[in-house]
Amino acid sequence: AAAQANRARLRDAMIAGGFTVYEGEWWHFDGPGAAAERPILDVPVD
């Protein structure tokens, strides 16, 4: 019961902060502007 209450508290806080919830995963949130088009960076990873 405590875990579910904590998840609800996190969800409410994130929504209040402008984040959106990915319904498939309780821990996954997207920040404001996450859906905006962005250029793909071609950066080598060493």
Residue 13: pLDDT above 90?
yes
Residue 18: pLDDT above 90?
yes
Contact 11, 3 (CB under 8 A): no
Residue 32 to residues 5, 21, 44, 46: CA-CA distances in angstroms? 25, 11, 28, 31
Q: What is the pTM of this model?
A: 0.66
Pick the more confident residue, 17 or 41: 17
